[in-house]
A and B are shown apart, each in its own frame.
Chain A
């Protein structure tokens, strides 16, 4: 049973560029959340997708956008990259109807902006 998988694991971009990160949820899960983890900090909630719609959003600018596909996989897009966007981006999946609401995290995509 595959867990949450993310790609790419590492990437380097320059300021002003755009990046797309990908996430496949754990088998059977239908909800995907994205978090940003800056070095030495805890993860911060970006947004959550369910039924191909953004359901909740944290305090992140519109440069951060996402998408969920019919197979429940998801993408995170960041436009006009800033140096401060350098971070580990974590994807977490869960089952919407589950009472526990436990999140299962991937290993993350480490983005470096030069």
Chain B
């Protein structure tokens, strides 16, 4: 079945460090790919997305590129801030399943000042 695998956390970084959170997927067809973020005490928020191969999604300094050949969608940021501390979820959506997302297990990121 369709699935998303994320690197295990938690991840702890110092402010201004480089961030990579790995995400790979298994899916039939060509899914859309997403990164959601969950800040403490808040609901899930869409961070960025990509709908086809080689698309790059970006937002708030975060980037991820849809790599069909490696079935990956790794999240990167060049310089993290304390305010980036949150749980990050990679997710996929199959064509025709408009509101059904398949999520990874999440990666807890803590950024220390």
Binding site for B on A (CB under 8 A): 3-4, 31, 33, 35, 40-45, 48, 55-56, 58, 90, 92, 94, 96, 101-108
Contact = CB atoms under 8 A, between A and B. Distances in A.
Contacts of B89: 42-43
Contact of B100 (A33, A96, A105, A107): A33
Interface residues on B, range: 20 to 34
Given A33-B99, A48-B100, A56-B97, A42 B4 contact: yes
A61 to B, nearest CB: 17
A105 B97 CA distance: 17
A42 B42 contact: no
6 contacts: A4-B43, A42-B104, A43-B103, A56-B100, A101-B98, A106-B43
Given A90-B44, A106-B43, A48 B105 contact: no
A16 B100 CA distance: 29
Contact of B101 (A41, A103, A108): A103
